[in-house]
Structure 1
């Protein structure tokens, strides 16, 4: 009887250890991220700090729900080919196309042109193309953005209606054909990027509220993708006000862009 008890106890210990090992193994597999994202946002953020803060909260939730990892950098110093090789997606959350190191420029250009590493989602400041703060314009980035140069913006903000053109594009999945943005600066450029990119959505300048004389004459793209590049990429102009994360259309586009850009299927 005593021998039987010892044997049963030993068996129980072995089974418990086995189940614990399996459980730990499964847990380890579950926590391994499906893909990795790096987002760049200027330190401090200036007037865009509230948008970035809200974006980080939203991204943390989406990453947790969908098991991907996200890291943040505040300048381009860490960027080189080896650094970018760790990531399936780069989000230019709040960083202009100047102040980049030469090494970062070359690594990023190869990342986008060759399309071997992953994708890119850019917001707002990414189309701030020109000579700023003593920095020359980055010609390749201007080409990437459709050959445009920044001209002006509505400093007092305006409400407007955005119309989706490319309803079949993955970034526009489940997005209504038209939606309102309550408060945005609506950059103007020296020309429309349309001849050089695939336009996904435009802003209807006739719906500006209050009205503004800062218009592009009707064809005003605000979301587009440069299909001449091998990497999946999408530029989303909106990105100034934190209330955008209360806009269902905006967060749907952002979420779609993450998974499409990273070459993943949304859970």
Structure 2
């Protein structure tokens, strides 16, 4: 909130950052992408392993050369090998991360696998590149580490990569969409429930994708004590000459090596409050404001606040947002304040989660401003320096506020002031004043009693029968029916938290978005339309808000194969459903 004088240290840090090229635009800056990103990275070593027992990629040599270039510019040394005997406990201990560069087939024996497991469990880092997902199919530990294994691929072609996380160092330099050419893998499973998806493929932008519209292509995760990053790119020789792809690899290596921090917990069920495209629903209080560019809100002037005026939040919720300071700057995130055009109302009636590099403990980054300091040791271990992105999760449960920085809990505060309440109020971001430049991206929320999840299991209806995809087929238009419960995938429905019901990778859908009684209920590619929205009611019905009608098992007798359709709500037994 309040500004103290910048320290000499902060000024020097700012000067170093000013000398570093700005990598935040959608396109890479002119010049090599492997120039230093952080003067603070200590020297470390990376092992690049590229043994193949199956298909061998011609791009491996280019990949090794690119990684050596990146290391030379960013203070890490690359040792490259195809000798599996390098996988011993003593040898692996010297490396901060191990890169599996388009390995294929079974490349490690049992003893070597055990050594690598112990390396990861001891805090080591893994980076999987492209065919690293085509490796060690019979080693469960590795499948969990990699996140997903190869299924198939179409021909090499251009595709649109949707960048979902623009705070991670591997993707922060990219825009919301990244157009590039590669060999795009399909995977045997979807890693979204176990990893933080950084980027995914728009399957409509190319041919041959088979993951039903949810197609992760890069992700990160914490796994058994270690860190794991994977990217599906890197098949072509040309990939390793692309500045944006090289920067993508560099960010993955830095994170896996522990040089930069990120929230790599799985994330589902959140809805955007600010997605980078506009500020509908937000209002500016007080002077100054925020500039919107490259999907980013950057503060200027003040003291003011941009607050989400479209809704007051009541009940429990989790608020996430990404932020970055330019230097020794000042801002904060306000929660639990009443609607007002006066920014001081939030100061006096709500709580500020502080962003400030160099203030007193109860007024610096991670504090509940003026009330409780962060756990400074935990904060410092989780914090990225000015110039790099950080992620806050502010979790409100009743009058309790828990704060997570880059996935690590750093504060736990309970309101006892009867004049304030965390359980009800608006949220906002502060523009503190002239000279304070703090940027924000990807503000999103998950509320209790609203979007939650994910939850998976059977949806049970009349006569104890289950909602079922006919024949277990996945084609658009497949009839939905009821059938004796059998625990099959055709009866396994996921509620991801966005009011859709999903099975076999697709959505429960009203044919043609029609509203007439008797309209077919079918399986269809998820598309975000009102025809795929289902809201559970207190009376047990599932109502489609667009039509104001209910999911209904047709007819007056209900046997295996009875189709479900849309019908006027009447709360009869054939409209009652029990969700997982």
Question: Would you say same fold, with TM above 0.5?
Answer: yes
Residue 201 of structure 1: aligned partner = 199
Is 1:260 the counterpart of 2:255 in the alignment?
A: yes
Q: 1 CA distance for matches of 2:250 and 2:89?
A: 26
Q: How big is the alpha-carbon RMSD for the aligned residues of Structure 1 and Structure 2?
A: 2.5
Is 1:240 the counterpart of 2:235 in the alignment?
A: yes
Is 1:64 the counterpart of 2:43 in the alignment?
A: no
Residue 215 of structure 2: aligned partner = 220
Residue 145 of structure 2: aligned partner = 144
Kept in 2, the 8 Å contact 1:145–1:226? The answer is no
Which of 92, 99, 105 lines up with 1:91 in the alignment? 99
Residue 36 of structure 1: aligned partner = 45
Kept in 1, the 8 Å contact 2:190–2:216? The answer is yes
Give every structure 1 segment of 4 or more consecutive aligned residues whose post-TM-superposition deviation is greater than 6 Å.
none
Pick closer, same or farther for the CA change 1:253–1:88 going to 2, 3 Å: same
Residue 12 of structure 1: aligned partner = none
The structure having more radius of gyration, on CA atoms, is 2
Q: 1 CA distance for matches of 2:64 and 2:150?
A: 27
The one-character-per-residue Cα deviations of 1:235-265 (angstroms, maximum 9, x if unpaired) are: 0111210111233321111111222222236
After TM superposition, give the deviation of residue 120 of structure 1 in Å: 1.5
Pick closer, same or farther for the CA change 1:152–1:66 going to 2, 3 Å: closer
Q: SS of 2:174's equivalent? A: coil
Kept in 2, the 8 Å contact 1:176–1:249? The answer is no
Q: Which has the higher contact order (CA 8 A, sep 6+)?
A: 1
Residue 108 of structure 1: aligned partner = 116
Kept in 2, the 8 Å contact 1:97–1:127? The answer is no
Q: 2 CA distance for matches of 1:241 and 1:85?
A: 31
Kept in 2, the 8 Å contact 1:77–1:101? The answer is no
Pick closer, same or farther for the CA change 1:246–1:141 going to 2, 3 Å: same
Residue 453 of structure 2: aligned partner = none
Kept in 2, the 8 Å contact 1:39–1:93? The answer is yes
Aligned residues: 221
Residue 119 of structure 1: aligned partner = 125
After TM superposition, give the deviation of residue 57 of structure 1 in Å: 2.2
Structure that is richer in helix per residue: 1
Is 1:175 the counterpart of 2:170 in the alignment?
A: no
Contiguous gaps of at least 5 residues in structure 2:
1-41, 261-384, 386-580
Kept in 2, the 8 Å contact 1:204–1:220? The answer is yes
Kept in 2, the 8 Å contact 1:45–1:94? The answer is no
